[in-house]
Each structure stands twice: as structure tokens, then as C-alpha cells.
Amino acid sequence: MRQDGFLIMLPGPTNVPDRVLRAMCKPLIGHRGPEFRELHERIVENARYAFQTEADVFVLTCSGTGGVACALENVLQPGDEVVVPVMGVFSERMAETARRRGAKVVEVPVAWGSAPIREQVEPFMHEDVKALCLVYNETSTGVIARELPALAELAKEHGALVVVDAVSVLGGDVLPVDKWGIDICITGSQKCLACPPGLALVSVSEEAWRAIEANQHRPFYFDLVRAREFLRERRETPFTPAIPLFYALDEALAMLREEGLEKRIERHARCARAFYAAVEAMGLRAFPEPRWRSQTVIAVEVPEGVDSRALRSAMKERYGVLIGGGMGKLRERIVRIGCMGIISAREVLITVGALEDCLRDLGFPVEAGAGSEAAKRELGLL
């Protein structure tokens, strides 16, 4: 382990500001006392700002997958029908989570590297569909489902709930939960919120509550009705929360508010543009079609003749820069770079510079400085 830590350019977890890390060292408190209630209340209030919702937001002590499971197991009863556009590993997981719940899962196949549009999903929707479940930012392919507002509208036309996995995007791209009619939105602490891993946040609309209250098969630990009782009546969580992580999230959300959501999203967009420009200037190709490119996860095809593992380990060993490999059938074919959280010109330029050098050393001809120059231009530094 490097003394000064790694530059974590993974698609999560991501770099965490010192301020957030230090917050975890504060003395522990009990979770049934006024100190926790005050902390919890502030977190929920600031989370509502990040989600752009007036709805309840729950902070769960679990990773993002737990948040998705919580949402689906509260809304769905065995036998319910759900529609899930599948375009990568995380949408596959969402479908599998619903299947294990006993739901009838209708998958809409979408080519990896692109995202669903209304016309693709429409034939699968009818009045018996309980929910449309969508991964907004498919982290395994670097794709954002930009048509989410139109898909949510479509779901509403058929009386279906809209459940959105926004684990790798909330706080890093546009996602007005209430305005777009999203009934349940899930995110994780360790991505665009720039907080350590271990917490999931879940928003629940009034319409979703109706389905949840009617559900006779709610899980015990993740029962949202019980969580609502604790949240509304006592400002507490039903079970012991990971208090140090709550401290961290409190600080991370305070930083988000200080910066402002709009500015933060624009910063992610600017840094993503710099990454994509650098990728092109280096003679590489981004994996997704241009219209679906994510601004929080940059998926890049590994050029022929270059070993993706060798590339990632050169980045790590030589520069201390961590980037992600591919997942599922893309394991060797792409590398993925996180453009999340505290992302700024500094992280972009260090990563691009390291990538240029390592690619050259592995035999791929990159003109010296080409990527960095293109990135700097997008960042307004040239």
C-alpha cells in the first residue's frame, strides 16, 4: 500500500475528501439519543436536496445492492410483473433481485453500449405491470439512460411504479426525482456523493407507499413501513446504524450543499468531456455510442494488442492510479474510469497522463501529450 494512498479513479468507491474521512473519527454516540436524532434529521434533509424530492429518504446501513433489494422487496409481492430493460451487469442484477423475490420479470433486451428508448419498452407495458425498474447509469458499460424522463412517463401512463437504480450517478448528473415522477430512487454513499462505502439511500414516493403498505410480504430487516415509523415519529432508524458512516455522509452532503447541486453536476460534465476528448485524442474509443455516454463512468475500449490487466496494473504500480476493468462479457474488452465525487482537473489530468504513458509502454502508439492537451482544452486550461 502506498503511504499516500491511491488516486481512486474506479467507478466506485471513489476518492473521499479529508474532511469527510476525519468526520468518522468523532466520538461515537448512541442511536437512541438526541445527538443522533439531530444528525439523522440533517442527513435526511440534505439527502432530499440531493434527490430533489419532498419524499421520505431512508439511509440504510448496507451497500447499494442492499438498497436495490430493499426497494424491490418492499414494493413487489411474489407473482407481480415487472419490466426491466437489461443493458449490462447491474440491470441484470436488478432483474435477478426481482426474480428472487418471486416476481415475473420481463426483460427488455438492450444492446450493451446503448440505453433503452420509449419505443423499445412500450410493447412490454400494460396495466398489470407493477413497476418499471431501470438502471439510470449502467456502470458496467458506461451508459446513461438519458430517456429516463420519457420512460417514467410511459410507466405512469400504464399505472406502473418507476424504480430507479441511481447508485453510480446521483449527485453527478441530472436527476430531479420528483419532477421526473420517480417513485423509488436508490443511490450508494461511495460514488458521486464522495463518501466511503457502506450506506444506501432510498427515496419513496406517496404512490410507492401505497404499494408497500399493501404488501403482506415485506422483509423484516428492510421493512420500509417500520423504517418510516422510526423516521417520522422518532427521527431514528429501526436498527443500529453505522454511526461513523453517518458522520461521513453528513459531511459529504454538507459539502454537496456548499457547492450546490447544479455546479457539482456541471463539474462532472466538464471533467467527463475532458476524459472523452482525451480518449479520442489518444486514438482510443469510448465503448458506448456517443448519445449514451455517461458523465460519471468513462468506459474505454482496450486497443488490440494491449492487455487490459497489464494496463491497469501499470497504472497502479507506476502512478498509484486505480482504474476499473470490464465486467461480465466486457471483462477484458474495456477499462472503466470513475468521474465521480471530488473529480476535478487534477484527477483528470493525472489519470490521462498516466494512461498515455502506460499505453505507450505497452506498445500502443500515443503521441506524447495528445490526451492531456485535449483534456486541458475541454477544461479551459489552454
Query: Which of 268, 376 has the CB closer to ligand PLP?
Result: 268
CB 347 within 8 A of CB 201: no
Return the residue of 52, 139, 205, 372 that touches ligand PLP, per CB under 6 A.
139
Burial class (CB in 10 A: 0-12, 13-18, 19+), 290: exposed
b (16+ CB within 10 A) / e for 227-264: bbeebeeeebbbeebbbebbbbbbbbbbbbeeeebeeb
Binding of ligand PLP by 187 (CB under 6 A): no
Restricting to residues 35-64, name those near ligand PLP by CB under 6 A.
63-64
Residue 282 CA to residue 93 CA, distance in Å, equals: 34
Closest contact distance (angstroms) between CB of 172 and ligand PLP is 12
Query: Which of 61, 65 has the CB closer to ligand PLP?
Result: 65
| Residue 29 three-state SS | coil
Closest contact distance (angstroms) between CB of 2 and ligand PLP is 23
Binding of ligand PLP by 133 (CB under 6 A): no
Residue 349 CA to residue 223 CA, distance in Å, equals: 45
CB 302 within 8 A of CB 283: no
C-alpha cell at 33: 439519543
Query: Cis peptide leading into 13, omega within 30 of 0?
Result: yes
Closest contact distance (angstroms) between CB of 261 and ligand PLP is 20
Restricting to residues 315-344, name those near ligand PLP by CB under 6 A.
none
Query: Which of 298, 375 has the CB closer to ligand PLP?
Result: 298
Residues in binding contact with ligand PLP, number by CB under 6 A: 13
C-alpha cell at 319: 502512478
Return the residue of 53, 74, 97, 168 that touches ligand PLP, per CB under 6 A.
168
Closest contact distance (angstroms) between CB of 84 and ligand PLP is 13
Return the residue of 90, 222, 275, 287 that touches ligand PLP, per CB under 6 A.
90
| Residue 109 three-state SS | strand
Report the length, in residues, of the chain.
Answer: 382
Query: Which of 168, 372 has the CB closer to ligand PLP?
Result: 168
Query: Which of 190, 372 has the CB closer to ligand PLP?
Result: 190
Binding of ligand PLP by 135 (CB under 6 A): yes
Query: Which of 147, 165 has the CB closer to ligand PLP?
Result: 165
CA dihedral defined by 23, 18, 57, 130, rounded to 10 degrees?
Answer: -140
Q: 232: which DSSP letter?
A: I
List the beta bridge partners of residue 185: 164, 203
Query: Which of 64, 303 has the CB closer to ligand PLP?
Result: 64
Residue 360 CA to residue 334 CA, distance in Å, equals: 17
Return the residue of 7, 9, 12, 203 that touches ligand PLP, per CB under 6 A.
12
Q: Which residue stretch of 46-54, 135-143, 146-154, 369-377 sits at the interface with ligand PLP (rule: CB under 6 A)?
A: 135-143
Query: Which of 131, 314 has the CB closer to ligand PLP?
Result: 131
Closest contact distance (angstroms) between CB of 183 and ligand PLP is 17
Task: Lay out the sheet containing 334-338: strands in order across.
Answer: 285-286, 297-301, 334-338, 324-325
Residues within the interface to ligand PLP (CB under 6 A): 12, 63-65, 68, 90, 135, 137, 139, 165, 167-168, 188
